[in-house]
Structure 1
Amino acid sequence: MLPARNRLRTSVDFSHTVRSGVRQGRRNVVLYAALSDDDGAPSRFGFIVSKAVGNAVTRNLVKRRLREAGAETLRERPTGVDIVVRALPAAASADWSSLRSDYVSALRGAVRKLATGSRQEEVNGSGE
């Protein structure tokens, strides 16, 4: 389980991350990432697993697996980013290794986009 300070809790937090962040899609997940508003703020995670993924048992299994992948990310990147992971229906039949590899691949792409966007703001003079 992720600590409370590392969880996105409100719909405003989810909306902000999904709407203003970068998006990376893979077969099993769509990952949204946004830089935190505060520089030293802890990284936070949110998970969206709809009924399209499967019954309650399947949805909870997918959520547990995604939370574990998020916990691994938290050890590597403890501050500065908000992440929302939306599980796609294919995640229901995915094993742990393929779900994790899709998550890691999407996260890597999102972080790369965030870094490129930050550098563009600095070049344009709007990143103060």
Structure 2
Amino acid sequence: MLPARHRLRTSADFSHTVRSGVRQGRRNVVLYAALSDDGAPSRFGFIVSKAVGNAVTRNLVKRRLREVGAETLRERPTGVDVVVRALPAASSADWTALRSDYASALRGALRRLEPSQESGASPDGTEVG
């Protein structure tokens, strides 16, 4: 289970992450990520609608997503807010498929969020300015 300080709790937190962050979709999940204030703990939120399945299925999907969120937290304890929306396909996905889709989406989102290492360089690699 994720500690309370690492959970997105309010509708405003979810909305901010979804609207101002980047979006990465995969077969089983859609992941939204936004950079948070420097030093702020990473926070996670999960959206698992009734379209995913009955209560037992939704809870299983949520438990699996919380676990991969906890793994991410060990690697990145600060600096990012993540919202994961489970798609209906997640109900029939096994643990490895769900984990793989989450990890792939997170890598893509972080790649888009992180500032380029080559600031000051143009797309063709020549120095600008």
Q: Offset of 1:62 from its aligned partner?
A: 0.1
Q: Which residue of 2 aligns with 1:6?
A: 6
Partner of 1:105: 104
Equivalence for 1:41? 40
CA distance in 2: counterparts of 1:48 and 1:12, whole angstroms: 14
Q: Secondary structure at the match of 1:39?
A: coil
Matches within 5 A, 1:1-128: 1-36=1-36, 38-115=37-114, 118-119=115-116
Instruction: Provide the rounded CA distance (Å) in 1 between the counterparts of 2:40 and 2:116.
Output: 20
Cα RMSD between the aligned structures?
1.2
Paired residue secondary structure (1:86): strand
After TM superposition, which residue ranges in structure 1, 4 or more long, deviate above 4 angstroms? none
Query: 1:30-84 CA deviation, whole Å, 9 max, x = no partner?
Result: 0000000x20000000000000000000000000000000000000000000000
- The code of the aligned residue for 1:45 comes to F
Distance 1:86 1:93 in 2: 15
- Higher fraction of helix: 1
Specify the code of the residue in structure 1 equivalent to 2:12: V
Match of 1:126 in 2: none
- CA distance in structure 2 between the partners assigned to 1:69 and 1:44 by the alignment: 13
Query: How many pairs does the alignment contain?
Result: 119
d(CA) in 1 for partners of 2:41, 2:20: 18
Q: Give the unaligned 5+ runs of structure 1.
A: 124-128
Tell me the CA shift for residue 86 of structure 1: 0.1
Q: State the TM-score, normalizing by the size of structure 2.
A: 0.90
Paired letter, 2:112: K
Give the fraction of aligned pairs with identical amino acids, expressed as a percent. 87
